[in-house]
Amino acid sequence: MLIRPQQKLRDKVFYNNIIFIVIVFCITCFITSITIQNGGLKKQVVNNVKEGQVFGPINVTNKPKIYKVTANFRGDNSSTYISGEVLDKDKDTLYEFSKDLWHESGYDSEGYWSESERNMVTYLTFSEKGTYYIQFNTDEKNMRDISITFKPVNGSYVPHLQVGFLFLLIAAIAFCLLNHRWLQEKCVIINEKLEEMSDD
């Protein structure tokens, strides 16, 4: 079967337009992911955590709720831990989460160095109806060095991010296969330009 050059050109333009639409979809996924991650309702910040401090109540009715919990350690050359417990309406523990936070710095033969693990980020999903609380515990000596941000979010950003990367990969492969000759020509031109620059 003979394919006319004009038909091949129209097909190429058509598929490139589809690739462009897929890329726009990927960008939309990334923007949605960033909006979900950074958006949400009003956040609550506590700069000096007290031992056994409780956030709540969190009332869940028909729609599940997701909260982003961020702990930040400001201490220098010291370490601590932060642990949280999700409680039910009777203040009984449902499950726990925790992390060690630390900071170290000093000088050696190469000069100043610093290493740290200052942040804990976790997402808590409340899918069942009920009343919940979150209780935090930490070293008493480091209470003043820990701040906690407690923020409702609109949902998980991960699925949008994964779908965006998947379709972006597919679009990139399809573009390379469809326009391999054009890409080869561009690579040749770039190599020639680089050789001219190196000769100069």
Q: What is the mean pLDDT of the chain?
A: 82
Residue 2's pLDDT is what?
45
Where is pLDDT greater, at 161 or 40? 161
pLDDT digits (tens, 9 = 90+) for 86-120: 999 999 999 999 999 999 999 988 889 999 999 99
Q: For the chain, give the percent of residues with pLDDT over 70.
A: 84
The answer to whether 147 and 72 are in contact (CB under 8 A) is: yes
| DSSP letters for the chain | ----HHHHHHHHHHHHHHHHHHHHHHHHHHHHHHHHHH--S--EEESSPPTTEEEEEEEE-SS-EEEEEEEEE--SSEEEEEEEEEE-TT--EEEEEEEEEEEEEEEETTEEEEEEE-EEEEEEEE-SSEEEEEEEEE-GGGGGGEEEEEEEESS-SHHHHHHHHHHHHHHHHHHHHHTHHHHHHHHHHHHHHHHHHHH-
Q: Where are the chain's structural domains? A: 1-39+155-181, 42-153
| CATH code 2.60.120 for 42-153 | yes
**Among 22-36, 64-78, 150-164, which is the least confidently predicted range?**
150-164
For residues 173-198, give the mean pLDDT.
Answer: 80
